[in-house]
Amino acid sequence: MEHLVPIGLNHYLTISAFLLGFGLFAVMTRKNAIVVLMGVELILNAANINFIAFSKYNGGMGGIMFSLFVIVIAAAEAAIALAIVINIFKIFKSVDVSSIDSMKE
Amino acid sequence: MHSLIQLSIVVLLLPLLSFVILIFFNRRLPRRGDFVGVGILGTAFALSAYIFWTVIVQTYDPAFRVAWDFTWIDLGQVPGIGPLQIKMGIVIDNLTAIMLAMVTLISLLVHLYSTGYMAGDKNYGRYYAFLGIFTFSMLGIVLSDNLFSIYIFWELVGLSSYLLIGFFFEKDSAADAQKKAFLANRVGDIGMWLGILILYSQFHTFSFTEIYANLAAGKFAMSNAWLTAAGLLLFMGCVGKSAQFPLHIWLPDAMEGPTPVSALIHAATMVAAGVYFVARIFVVLTPDALHVIAFIGAFTAFMAATIAITQNDIKRVLAYSTVSQLGYMVLGLGVGAYSAALFHLVTHAFFKACLFLGSGAIIHAMHHEQDMRWMGGLRKHMPWTFATFTLATLALAGLPLTSGFMSKDAILAGAIGFATAEGGGVYYLIPVLGFFSAMLTAFYMGRQIWLVFFGESRTHLKPADDHHSAHHAHSTHDTHNDDHHAAHEVHEVSWNMRAPLVILAALSVFFVYSPNPLDGAQGWFMKMIQTPPTVVGSYQSAPSSEKLAVGSQQSATEGENSALSTQHSALSEQHSAPEAEHSALSTQHSALKESTQHSALTNERQAEIAHASHAAHFPAIYISSIMVILGITLAGIVYVFRIIDPDKTAEAIRPLYLFSLNKWYWDEIYDATFIRGSMLISKMLSWFDTNIIDGIVNGVALIVKKVAFANNSFDKYVVDGLVNFTAFSVNTTGAVLRKLQTGKVQTYVVMLLAVVFGYFVFYFTRLIY
């Protein structure tokens, strides 16, 4: 087990980056609005990991507090976003984000 | 307010009321409303007669004067002028009272007369309206107490004169005559206005009394030459209005108006307004100005009399006679015979109105025949007209026992006195011209009486075509078509035309004015109208300095102003001997010397002239009587007994005859000088206008056009190009950019990321290098 590298800040940041990348990939490529929202959650959580990691290695409680705040906001965001999705479905009879382009006009 | 003032305001406004009623409603009133005019004038005359009675008969005070004024326009301090306050006011003194009664009486008689003369005219109602506004304006002149309001009314009489001269405006000659009258008056009025402005610039007031007081106090800051100029400019108003040389040319042409109008306006009242005005400003006139006035008057009197000799139109003879008599009045004022001139104004107004109305009766009876050559023998047909016309003629000629005799002799005596006082020489020309004109007056009036009333009727002698054209010209108010029956149809005019003749003729007899037929100075008129003390600066003429010294001594011994009035009342009681009268006169002047030291010497001169005039009274009577009798005898020799044939005489002195017949060629001279001159100037200005001014304007327009063209190109290619290019580039950019806006959220996210990524790339690249 000695050859194993102890887990440091870079590991966390790497995970966070991958999570951000997955999140962005989901947001940019998926057609289903629900999945897009899930991608957004991934991005938020990537940010949370960063906050926690920096908090742990730099000391201080700011990062932890901020991540808690983000979780709360994310909950509220999920509630509102799902409500929006339901409304979109009511109007367009679909949740396919690629077909909803009425912002063009 | 004095009750007389209130009355006079009513008198003033009554004719205006007549004008307003008749100008608007004459077609709705029975008889076109002529009874309104006559009735209102009757009332006005009754009130004026009451004023006359109160002032002249009851008060009988030479110094009587009531005045009232109010501020009409107050502009406060006007930049460049100073305080500008215009007052309107009324003054009633003896002169006003007399003029008031005279104007309303003659106006009333003319109104009455016109009911016969103008009957059937299509503009009958408007005629009465015009008479109303004329009477109003004339009364305004008479009552005015300041130069400004007198100027306003002055222009108003000019307007009414213009309207009435051109009353038969369908005739070209009438329309031309009215324009001529208006323009000639305009020339005079400009001068008058300048004169008013000179006095105003010095004293900041228009009021007569204030101007006199300021002048007497020596507040005239400019030189005496300016005062003379102011006097002569004011006199120009009189030259225009009273038809003095060189503006006399309009009055004979003014005879195109209806004959009663000629009687009222162009013989009795309006033309006399000029003389009245000069009398009002008499005390402002410097001796130099008075000399000019005297010479102009004398020359006018003589010139007009020579023209009157050869005229054939009955009204033109009277017109030139009017010019001549107005010349006498102006002459009288010029030589300082103030009361005599005004006396002549009044007596002339009555007998000349009588003559004009008489000639109107003749013209009416002759069916608008005005040429005396085709009259004759009317004595039997028109006895009333003949009697009154003859009486007025005698008054005009100045035979003893008539009013004209007294007034004309007073003027001539004044002229002799003036010439004596001035030391003779060229000044004797004035009385000589005066006496010669008196003879000519007697001659041409004798000729007129003979041609019109005596002999056989000459109607049939008239050339047919001439007759026809004359007849045609008057067809507007002549209903008779049969030319040759005119002579047989001649009959006396009706009572409403006869009554004015009789009244006016009665006023031409001596006892109306004076108990002594040989001396007007003993009558009420010349006692009530006294020469006002002049207020202009000192005057000294070398030959008379000795007499001046005597006058000064008298003034030292005699006393106060109050002495004056007692002296006068004593005078009026006893109708005293000439010596006493003269001493009273000099007392007046010496007393006034005390109050106005400044003008003392001039007043002494007045007294001296008065003295000399008095001495000249009897010589004047003799000479003028001889002249008149000579004139009448000559007329008798030529026209009654035909010892000298007038036609042969005319042939013998043909140049002189033509000179007189053509009115001294004044019209031609003015035509060649002023009219041609102004036409030439007009043509030059017209040329200048079409070629220079228009050239400049067109040139400017051309430049503007070229500039506009260049501007247009610039606009089209440069400005529009820039604008279009901007639009085009924006359009193109937009077309590219709009592709980016897909409306899909995911595209935006990609773009966002691309930008962030780009930023990082940029940032790190910077970091590395």
Is A100 among the domain residues?
A: no
Task: Write down the pLDDT at residue A1.
Answer: 56
- Measure CB to CB from residue A104 to each of B741, B749, B750 and give the nearest one: B741
From the CA of B736, how many Å to the nearest CA of chain A?
A: 14
CA distance B682 to B626: 53
The answer to whether the CB atoms of B746 and A29 lie below 8 A apart is yes
How many Å lie between the alpha carbon of B769 and the closest alpha carbon of chain A?
26
In B, which residues are within 8 Å of A98 by CB distance? Answer: 744, 746
Chain B hits for A101, CB-CB cut-off 8 Å, are 742-744
What's A76's domain CATH number?
A: 1.10.287.3510
| Residues B347/B406, Cβ–Cβ less than 8 Å | yes
Q: How far apart are CA B337 and CA B617, in angstroms?
A: 12
Q: B728: distance to nearest CA of chain A, Å?
A: 22
Q: Are B493 and B385 in contact (CB under 8 A)?
A: yes
- What is the per-residue DSSP string for A39-93? HHHHHHHHHHHHHHHHHHHH-SSHHHHHHHHHHHHHHHHHHHHHHHHHHHHHHHS
- Residues B78 and B599: their CA atoms lie apart, in Å, by 32
Contact A101 B746 (CB under 8 A): no
State the nearest Cα–Cα gap between B704 and chain A, in angstroms.
Answer: 51
Residue A105: band (very low, low, confident or very high) from pLDDT cuts 50, 70, 90: low
DSSP character at residue B207? B
Does A103 reach chain B within 8 Å, measured CB to CB?
Answer: yes
* pLDDT-based confidence at residue A42 (cuts at 50, 70, 90): very high
Task: Give ipTM to 2 decimals.
Answer: 0.82
Q: Which residues of A touch B742 (CB under 8 A)?
A: 101, 104
Provide the residue range defining the domain that includes A39: 9-92
A100 touches chain B (CB under 8 A): yes
> Is residue B461 within 8 angstroms of chain A, CB to CB?
no
Residue B540: what pLDDT? 36
How far away is chain B from the Cα of A68, in angstroms, using its nearest Cα? 26
Judge whether A2 is closer than 8 Å to chain B, CB to CB: no
Q: Inter-chain contact A101–B750, Cβ cutoff 8 Å?
A: no
**What pLDDT shows up at residue B648?**
76
Contacts of A84 in chain B (CB under 8 A): none
User: Is residue A105 assigned to a domain?
Assistant: no
Considering only the beta carbons, identify the residue of B742, B743, B746 that sits closest to A28.
B746
B750 CB within 8 Å of a chain A CB: yes
Does B749 contact A28 at a Cβ distance shorter than 8 Å? yes
Inside any domain, residue A44: yes
Residue B487 tokens, joined:
């002579």
pLDDT of residue B191: 92
Nearest neighbour of B750 by CB, restricted to A28, A101, A103: A28
A81 touches chain B (CB under 8 A): no
Phi, psi angles (nearest 5°) of residue B247 = -105, 25
Find the closest chain A residue to B741 by CA distance: A104
Is the bond into B246 cis (omega within 30 degrees of 0)? yes
Beta strand ranges found along B406-562 (DSSP E): none
pLDDT digits (tens, 9 = 90+) for A3-28: 777 888 888 999 999 999 999 999 88
Please check whether residue B536 is in contact with residue B284, taking contact to mean a CB–CB distance below 8 angstroms.
yes
Single out the residue of B503, B523, B328, B512 nearest to residue B402, CA to CA: B512
Identify whether A62 is part of a domain: yes
Interface with B, mutate which of A37, A101, A105 (most B CBs under 10 A): A101
Please check whether residue B501 is in contact with residue B358, taking contact to mean a CB–CB distance below 8 angstroms.
yes
b/e code B273-311 from CB counts within 10 Å (16+ = b): bbbbbbbbbbbbbbbbbbbbbbbbbbbbbbbbbbbbbbb
**Chain B hits for A102, Cβ within 8 Å:** 743
For residue B744, the chain A residues in CB contact (below 8 A) are 97-98, 100-101, 103-104
Determine which helix (DSSP H) or strand (DSSP E) holds B91, and give its type and residue range. strand B82-93
Q: Is residue A3 part of a domain?
A: no
Query: Token pair for residue B136?
Result: 């109003």
Distance CA A105, CA B33 (A): 89
**C-alpha–C-alpha distance, residues B673 and B249, integer Å:** 14
- For chain B, which residues score pLDDT lower than 70? 1, 464-489, 537-603
> How far B732 CA lies from chain A's nearest CA (Å)?
18
CB pairs under 8 A between A and B: 31
Residues A68 and A64: their CA atoms lie apart, in Å, by 6
Contact A104 B742 (CB under 8 A): yes
End-to-end CA, chain A: 61
The reply to whether A42 falls in a domain is: yes
Determine whether the interchain pair B746/A97 forms a contact, defined as Cβ–Cβ distance below 8 Å: yes
Q: Does B743 touch chain A (CB under 8 A)?
A: yes
- Residue B606 pLDDT: 73
Residue B745 near chain A (CB below 8 Å): yes
Residues from chain A that touch B743, judged by Cβ atoms under 8 A, are 100-105
What are the angstrom distances between the C-alpha of B319 and each of A7, B118, B315, B397?
143, 20, 6, 15
Give the nearest chain A residue to B748 (CA atoms): A28
Cβ <8 Å between A24 and B742: no
Would A33 be classed as within a structural domain?
A: yes
Rounded to a whole number of angstroms, the distance from the CA of A94 to the nearest CA of chain B is 14
Q: Does A101 touch chain B (CB under 8 A)?
A: yes
A97 inside domain: no
CA distance B234 to B246: 15
Asked if the Cβ–Cβ distance from B746 to A105 is below 8 Å, we say no
The tally of domains found in chain A comes to: 1
Q: What backbone phi and psi angles, to 5 degrees, belong to B617?
A: -60, -50
